[in-house]
Structure 1
Amino acid sequence: MVAGSGCLTLNPGIDLTTQNSTVFHDVSSSGEWANGRLVGTLSLTPNATTDQGVSQINVVAADGETFYTTPVDSGQSNVSIMAPTNGTATIVAVNTVNGTVVETRNATITGDTVI
């Protein structure tokens, strides 16, 4: 259960379109949350950190503010992320060595809202 904005969200999750992605393979959430953040696991494609050079994942909230940032090690295939508990977020894969955005995907935070 997630509380936010006067509502209660049951069974929260994260939906992320990964079709034709060179970086993102899948995302999952156990429905756990902490301090208004939904905990998720982002699976990367096998060559995301090597061929694509991904070294950081940013989660950007709907208001454009960076919500969460985590480094990614070379060869790493799973990354723990935190997402806002309602609405949408943007997941950004970054190459911090050359300062480029490798790929961006929109994520939708799902759940059953109870007022």
Structure 2
Amino acid sequence: MLCSDQNFDIAQVIRFFRSKPGELIIYYELEEGERSSSRGIVEVCPETHRITRFLEKPEEERTTSRLASVVFYCIRGETLSYMSDFLSLQPQASERTFGLFWVRR
């Protein structure tokens, strides 16, 4: 766990991201009684802690995962060029943009 609810520190997140190779996507466990159909849900490999699947507001029976994406991503500049390719492979996506980017130069 990178940080708890009470101690979310964006500076800590950025330091962690800069200290490791690859990208960083933050997720959290849903509250008791919160429906998975209200959030984007991630399935995570228990050994590697890598996201293996993302489901946009899935019906309860589609997954047992209780981990929700907070739509907070740290992505390296060299990875951004692959986003358009990835989005083009998602035929069910109605919006094909990845949003706004904050690029540190």
Q: Which has the higher helix share?
A: 2
Tell me if TM exceeds 0.5. Answer: no
Q: What is the TM-score normalised by the length of structure 2?
A: 0.30
Q: What is the TM-score normalised by the length of structure 1?
A: 0.28
Q: Which has the higher strand share?
A: 1
